[in-house]
Amino acid sequence: MSSDYPLKRQSEFSWRIDPFGKMRVPGIVYADEQLIEAMDDKVFEQLCNVATLPGIVQAAYAMPDAHWGYGFPIGGVAAFDADEGGVVSAGGVGFDISCGVRALRTGLTVDEIESRKTQLADALYREVPVGVGSTGRIHLNEKGMNAMLLGGARWAVEQGYGDPADLDHIEERGCMRGADPGEISARARKRQQDEMGTLGSGNHYLEVQRVAEIYDSKIATAFGLQENDAVVFIHCGSRGLGHQIGTEFLKYMVLAASSHHLELPDRELACAPINSELGQAYLGAMRAGINCALANRQIITHLTRQVFAEVLPEADLTLLFDVSHNTCKLETHTVEGRKRKLYVHRKGATRAFGPGHPDIPEVLRAVGQPVLIGGSMGTESHILAGSSQGETLSFNSACHGAGRAMSRHQATKLWKGRSVVDELGARGIVIRSPSMRGVAEEAPGAYKDVRAVVDAAQSAGLARKVARVEPLVCIKG
């Protein structure tokens, strides 16, 4: 082990850093030996910093896809108890609030779409706005903005963007309670007023994929998946609004830290007591940001359905599930035999409730919550299910993607966007993107081996593998 941090191996897929210095709890990392060797020491440093925050419960966790982030590691999980001085951290949620993934079944097999794949790619690229600063056809006035921030995907469905049945397959049934539009600044509103129903840039995408392999046929059947089915993954978040909320509250939290007697090990870990005025203001704003992301993915789903209706009218797109990353949610967890209400931060991590949890849609409750792990343009993605032991291991959390293996700057030194598109085209993957630089930044080689990540998540007990999917069409931000 080359790390400068005192990592102790607890099991083949679990590593521990015992408290030292000002750490209040241990740090736990779930990964195999190769993933641990490849992790930047900054992940362990950030995990130890998180473990110093007031009111943290049990441990600070890093998922197998963890990499260096802003304050918290991306792939980081931490829970705080408000009654014990616990904090909420804007850095622990991240800038793209509620960035997440949703998966749709199409009712079609790959063979049924193969001959119209290019037509489908062109139509999706034309109808779903994509790229830096992209805007859509929806313009929200003040009244509409407030309704969206309060209603999330439920608001979108009420506006005609989707089916009421979709709501049963979204976390929080599509509407995060406790949102406070009054905490959203004029600047954040202005950035979002024309961005509803847009993918954005960076690692965001819309992919048509093939179910390449079924690992667990019982759960796959419950999820309505069979080998060679065509499915759609949509990965995006709360666009300019979420970023502006993060930017503003990080500043407020840094400035207010001393008045709350908070000693920050890193100013990027800016936070506020949950029960303070600032903590409650952030939670209200962040929940509004979650609703923005849920509404955004719902509108993109509607646009995607319209495209399929035009190109493949026999398709029937039904929502399997929508999962968010980059959130802080109040949940009840059993800790040392006692039920406690905790504010669980998941930054670049996915909620992964196990079988029987009451917050899982009834039709899926017996097998566990779908956990959607995104790959990249040229690599597989995975569908998992939450596990029963996940609560003890990580407050029911799992990884969210492959995790970056290098910076975007490093990636552009190694790859050219045009050659990435051509190489993937030779493999039968149709790419459409407004930015060749963006394609180079997101080249498949810039990410960790997603199969190693999900294998580690399963072996550690965080979630159970259900299906592997491979890209056919990728609309890239």
Residue the block writes with tokens 């049934």: 173
Instruction: Provide the sign of the torsion angle of the four alpha carbons 159, 164, 166, 169, taken in this order.
Output: positive
Coil, helix or strand at residue 329: strand
Q: Is 8 annotated as a binding residue?
A: no
Q: Is 377 annotated as a binding residue?
A: yes
Q: Is 169 annotated as a binding residue?
A: no
Which amino acid is present at 231?
V
Q: Is 228 annotated as a binding residue?
A: no
**Which letter, b or e, does each residue of 197-223 get, where b requires 16 or more Cβ atoms within 10 Å of its Cβ?**
bbbbbbbbbbbbbbbeebbbeebbebb
Catalytic residue among 345, 357, 400, 409: 400
Q: Is 203 annotated as a binding residue?
A: yes
Q: Is 402 annotated as a binding residue?
A: yes
Q: Is 400 annotated as a binding residue?
A: yes
CB 173 within 8 A of CB 154: yes
Instruction: List, edge to edge, every strand of the sheet that includes 74-80.
Output: 7-11, 14-17, 27-30, 60-67, 74-80, 338-347, 327-335
The full DSSP string for 165-191 is GGGGGBGGGG--TT--GGGS-HHHHHH
Terminal-to-terminal C-alpha distance of the chain: 37
Q: Is 47 annotated as a binding residue?
A: no
Q: Is 98 annotated as a binding residue?
A: no
Q: Is 381 annotated as a binding residue?
A: yes
Q: Is 374 annotated as a binding residue?
A: yes
Q: Which H helix or E strand runs over 452?
A: helix 450-460
Please give the DSSP secondary-structure letter assigned to residue 73.
P
Residue the block writes with tokens 């090990």: 265
CB 109 within 8 A of CB 230: yes
How many angstroms separate the Cα of 396 from the Cα of each of 61, 265, 434?
11, 27, 37
Q: How far is CA 278 from the centre of its chain?
A: 25
Q: Is 357 annotated as a binding residue?
A: no
The H helix count followed by the E strand count for the chain is: 14, 19
**Closest to 296 in 3D by CA, of 185, 206, 183, 184:** 206
Q: Which H helix or E strand runs over 346?
A: strand 338-347
The neighbour count for residue 22, using CB atoms within 10 Å, is 12
The C-alpha atoms of residue 316 and residue 300 are separated, in whole angstroms, by: 16
Give the CA count within 13 Å in the CB-facing half-sphere of 337.
0
Q: Is 296 annotated as a binding residue?
A: no
357 belongs to the catalytic site = no
The catalytic site residues sit at 400
Binding residue positions for GMP = 203-207, 325-326, 374-377, 381, 400-403, 476
Binding residue positions = 96, 203-207, 235, 325-326, 374-377, 381, 400-403, 476
Binding residue positions for Mn(2+) = 96, 204, 235, 325
